[in-house]
Chains A and B, each alone.
Chain A
Amino acid sequence: MIPVTRRKVLLGCALAALLALSPIALAGEVVVTGAKSSLNALDRDQVRDLFLGHMSTLPTGRNATLVDQPQSSPLRDEFYLKVANKSAAQARALWAKLYFTGRGVPPREGLDSADVKRIVNSTPDAIGYIEESALDSSVKVIFVVK
């Protein structure tokens, strides 16, 4: 039998290894906009309502252009789960309803975080989400996903 203290150490190591293999859980996500945008911050409800299509305008009064991670990205699942308590598929179903009925335009899809940053930086009023470790000077953080 493994002593309790040793079991705790092994369990800790196993969890650490698991987390190390799961960069999303460690990296965290941030919602970003272009570095030159006049938008400085959003709260969780605003981010949720924008990415679920409940609202389309930013606090600046201008229409938002939303940018998603690709469908295959675990960042996308993590983002919708943490911000809206929904799966990426549920969010997609909501957007399908809005798009095919003329009530909204779904988020554009970036190829990866670098592409999301490129679109956000070059498109006025665009916001997207990336892993915190991908941050650089081309974008600024307007919400930290927790």
Chain B
Amino acid sequence: MGKMIVRMLILLCMLVGEASMADDGSGPQFSGSGFLTLTAGKMLGGTRGNVGGFNCPCYVSDYAQAAIYDGRSALQWGPDSKLGLQGGVALDDRFSVTAQVVSRGARRGGADLEWLYGSYRLNDRLTLQVGRQRLPMFYYSDSQDIGFALPWTHLPTWLYGWQVVNYNGAKLKYQDQFNGWSANANLFAGNEHRGNGGYWKVYGNGAQSVTDVDWTNIAGGDLTLARDWFETRIVYMQSNTRDQPVSNSWNFSTLAYDLPPTPAPVARQQIYGATLKADYRNWLLYYELINIKHPGLSYRDYSQNIAAGYRYGKWLPMVTWGEYWGKVVTAGVLPNAPPSVANSQQTYTLSVRYDLTVSSDLKAEYDMTRDVSSPGFNPRYGSSRLLTLAYDMVF
């Protein structure tokens, strides 16, 4: 199925090449484009051990795709390399259909349909999109696969690492300008089923485990306000969640897959997020915070990320710090757990981007991660030091 989708999109892109539009805008207008990221990573050191079947030290670059750099000595190309193809057709100035497929090294080249939606412009300010789209949980969610649009070789993992990144449903988009501000707002609703998702392979069930994830009754909204060099965004969404192990899971006591799958209850989650971003003169400053509440369950999730960069011509060196902490709000949930925090990691990142051409860049990034989870918490990956080099382009 995936290969067929990719072939269809390649064919579409070849057929249309550059946007082949009539100058007067009449008739269907086809477009085809794509993006490529090639990343090589080298694990420089960290805590050694077998964690959930991974040969660590380990650095998780993308939970949803189970993209993980492990302790092997060779260069690792898979976790962050990807190729995306997008094709679209605008039937008139109101209605268009867009599809995007992404092939990932993290999935050994396997392709996923990331976007497939119809878009109908209701008026100058409102647009309705229906189909498969990106779940806008975070500031960089929409563009998380497009390396050329990012300052890092991979997104800050503790903030951006969750079970699903897409949904099938509808989104109502609003765009307006007033008093020098531009406003973009979205209301969205839908569902997502992820069979054999990557998240639980990394987060405790084991590298060889199979876990299905369902997010149902997704509903939420986000608002982005921008003026000149300043941008801010808030988001709220809620959904039901259900994580259903299909295979045996990794047992951290016996170091074997001997935990049988057990029926998973449906839980609720409420997600609150906020972002501040300044792109003033040569300075780039960014802060993002998210809080996930799970009504009726024993824990909450928090994560934040802060970054500062300064542009020297085509160079953008940047310093980034991020952390995640899972806070136990009910006593006695985990053995040996400290009073509040059960699971916590921090990452310090130094990165530099060089704009090679108008549509390509080179990046280098050094990530240093500390795992400060409680002793009783698993999976505990420990520390890691990772160097990644990336080439990004759009075409």
Contacts and interface: CB of A to CB of B under 8 A. Distances in A.
Contact of A102 (B21, B115, B357): B115
Interface string B33-60: 1010000000000000000000000000
A138 interface: no
A88 interface: yes
A89 B315 CA distance: 11
Interface residues of B, number: 44
Of the candidates B35, B146, B149, B355, the one having the most CB atoms from chain A within 10 angstroms of its own CB is B149
Given A90-B355, A100-B86, A63 B124 contact: yes
A123 B119 contact: no
Contacts of B86: 99-100
B146 A100 contact: yes
B142 A93 contact: no
Contacts of B115: 102
Nearest to A68: B358
A76 B358 contact: yes
Given A92-B394, A100-B84, A102-B133, A108 B142 contact: no
Contact of B143 (A55, A88, A97, A122): A97
Interface stretch (B73-81, B152-160, B174-182, B189-197): B174-182
A89 B182 contact: no
Interface string B111-146: 000010101000010000100011000000011011
A40 interface: no
Given A56-B175, A100-B86, A123-B24, A89 B98 contact: no
Contacts of A32: none
A96 B146 contact: yes
Contacts, number: 87
A69 to B, nearest CB: 10
Interface size class of A (residues with CB under 8 A): 20 to 34
Interface in A36-90: 45, 49, 54-57, 61, 63, 65, 71, 76, 85, 87-90
A145 interface: no
A85 B313 CA distance: 11
A119 B358 contact: no
A89 B124 contact: no
Given A96-B394, A119-B23, A61 B100 contact: no
A76 B357 CA distance: 12
B24 to A, nearest CB: 7
B359 interface: yes
Contact of A93 (B25, B84, B145, B148): B148
A71 B314 contact: no
A49, A54, A105, A123 interface centre (most CB from chain B within 10 Å): A54
A97 B358 contact: no
B361 interface: yes
10 contacts: A45-B228, A55-B182, A57-B124, A63-B93, A89-B355, A89-B358, A100-B149, A100-B394, A105-B31, A123-B25
**Shortest 5 CB-CB distances between A and B: which pairs?**
A101-B142, A89-B355, A97-B149, A97-B143, A71-B358
